[in-house]
């Protein structure tokens, strides 16, 4: 009996070390990250990637340069934060994010961090595969010039997929991967519950705001995905927005400020942000944020958008529809 209790205690200790102590690995879009000793420089700058591993949410460090994939990832539990470092894999495929909304352009690429160069068989040697019936099936292959393309050390090639198959039809939500040169893979999901962040050169006015955002497809997708409001869902969605802004080279601090300003303005509403666009309004740089909202236990199917000035962080326009 004592021996059994002793062995159980030892096993529990190893389980704790494996999780809390940071031993082991996590996986992100097909890359295995190993445990490291990096500290969290600022908890406010941990951005939720939308991914989980072993039930733990994966966060990217906003105080670091984003790179093509995060060099560090963090998990957290009752014992604190645990860091994991990107492996030195040399050549790897990547996707800008692990989660895209329906119709959101998918950015994929190949990075060469190896000592030498790699020759690709053509200008776009990639295909998109979907997980269907438990097997990966090719659904899209681009037409590309048949010319050898060289990828030197420290360089990358990047492409965009418009979420359409070989027949030109829009694909549905599900699990996908990009296969580059037949051997480099990166995995991602398409889901209506992922927010969209983008930058535009457009200078909006009241009319173009209504024309563009009054019936945003992201708002419709969120209304179908989120049947009710929850604070945790709101925090997760905002975190993914900050992560996407960070990965795109936008200013997540300004976006975070705009999100807080809008939230404070509508503290009595249950709102989920579905779309954030960095553009301008009347010549002023701003964030335009579209929300799904509902009162009390209502489904968050109503629409509201805010225009928040970049410089002052103040609301300069908003509209609501029930």
- Where do the domains of the chain lie? 25-85, 91-190, 196-321
Taking 60 as the threshold, does the pLDDT of residue 303 lie above it? yes
Mean pLDDT of 35-55: 93
- The residue assigned the tokens 């930058």 is 199
- What is the model's pLDDT at position 51? 95
Q: At what angle do helices 231-247 and 252-265 cross, to 10 degrees?
A: 150
Taking 50 as the threshold, does the pLDDT of residue 4 lie above it? no
- What is the model's pLDDT at position 304? 96
- What is the model's pLDDT at position 114? 86
Q: Is 203 exposed, middle or buried (0-12, 13-18, 19+ CB in 10 A)?
A: middle
Token representation of residue 6: 């002793």
- What is the model's pLDDT at position 305? 97
Q: What is the pTM for the complete model shown?
A: 0.89
Other Cβ atoms less than 10 A from the Cβ of 147: the count is 9
Mean pLDDT of 95-105: 97
- pLDDT, tens digit (0-9, with 9 covering 90-100), for 191-215: 999 999 999 999 999 999 999 999 8
Q: Is 319 exposed, middle or buried (0-12, 13-18, 19+ CB in 10 A)?
A: middle
Taking 80 as the threshold, does the pLDDT of residue 13 lie above it? no
- What is the model's pLDDT at position 146? 76
Mean pLDDT of 231-247: 97
For residue 44, what is the DSSP state?
G
Other Cβ atoms less than 10 A from the Cβ of 47: the count is 26
- pLDDT, tens digit (0-9, with 9 covering 90-100), for 119-160: 888 888 999 999 999 999 999 999 877 788 888 999 999 999
Taking 80 as the threshold, does the pLDDT of residue 83 lie above it? yes
- What is the model's pLDDT at position 14? 33
Taking 50 as the threshold, does the pLDDT of residue 17 lie above it? no
Pairing mode of beta strands 99-100, 135-140: unpaired
- Compute the half-sphere exposure of residue 253: CA atoms within 13 Å on the CB side of its CA: 5
For residue 169, what is the DSSP state?
P
- What is the model's pLDDT at position 144? 79
Q: Residue 258 in 3-state DSSP? A: helix
Q: Residue 208 in 3-state DSSP? A: helix
Token representation of residue 140: 């899209």
- Compute the half-sphere exposure of residue 187: CA atoms within 13 Å on the CB side of its CA: 11
**Spatial contact of 176 and 95, defined as CB atoms under 8 Å apart:** no
pLDDT classification of 299: cutoffs 50, 70, 90: confident
* CATH number attached to the domain at 91-190: 2.60.40.10
| Short-list 68, 297, 292, 75, CA closest to 192 | 292
For residue 255, what is the DSSP state?
H
**Spatial contact of 42 and 36, defined as CB atoms under 8 Å apart:** no
Taking 50 as the threshold, does the pLDDT of residue 15 lie above it? no
* CATH number attached to the domain at 196-321: 3.10.450
- pLDDT, tens digit (0-9, with 9 covering 90-100), for 241-293: 999 999 999 999 999 999 999 999 998 889 999 999 999 999 999 999 999 99
How close are the terminal C-alpha atoms of the chain, in Å?
A: 65
Other Cβ atoms less than 10 A from the Cβ of 304: the count is 22
- pLDDT, tens digit (0-9, with 9 covering 90-100), for 101-118: 999 999 999 999 987 898
């Amino acid at each position: 009996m004592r021996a059994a209790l002793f062995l159980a205690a030892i096993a529990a200790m190893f389980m704790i070390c494996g999780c809390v102590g940071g031993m082991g690995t996590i996986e992100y879009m097909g890359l295995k990250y190993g445990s490291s000793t990096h500290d969290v420089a600022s908890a406010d700058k941990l951005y939720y990637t939308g991914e989980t591993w072993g039930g733990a949410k994966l966060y990217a460090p906003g105080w670091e340069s984003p790179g093509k994939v995060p060099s560090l990832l963090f998990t957290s539990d009752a014992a604190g934060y645990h860091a994991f470092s990107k492996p030195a894999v040399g050549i790897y495929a990547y996707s800008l994010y692990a989660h895209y909304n329906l119709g959101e352009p998918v950015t994929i690429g190949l990075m060469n961090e190896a000592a030498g160069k790699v020759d690709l068989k053509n200008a776009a040697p990639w295909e998109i595969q979907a997980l269907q019936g438990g097997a990966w099936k090719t659904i899209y292959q681009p037409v590309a010039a048949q010319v050898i393309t060289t990828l030197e050390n420290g360089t990358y090639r990047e492409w965009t997929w418009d979420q359409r198959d070989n027949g030109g039809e829009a694909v549905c939500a599900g699990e996908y991967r990009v296969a580059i040169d037949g051997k480099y893979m990166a995995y991602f999901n398409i889901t209506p519950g992922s927010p969209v962040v983008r930058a535009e050169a457009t200078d909006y006015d009241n009319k173009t705001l209504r024309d563009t955002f009054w019936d945003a497809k992201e708002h419709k997708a969120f209304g179908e995905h989120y049947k009710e409001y929850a604070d945790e869902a709101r925090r997760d969605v905002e975190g993914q927005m900050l992560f996407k802004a960070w990965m795109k080279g936008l200013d997540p601090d300004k976006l975070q400020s705009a999100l807080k300003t809008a939230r404070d303005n509508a503290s009595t509403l249950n709102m989920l942000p579905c779309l954030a666009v960095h553009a301008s309004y009347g010549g002023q740089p701003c964030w335009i944020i579209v929300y799904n909202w509902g009162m009390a236990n209502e489904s968050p199917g109503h629409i509201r958008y805010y225009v928040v000035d970049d410089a002052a962080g103040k609301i300069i326009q908003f509209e609501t529809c029930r």
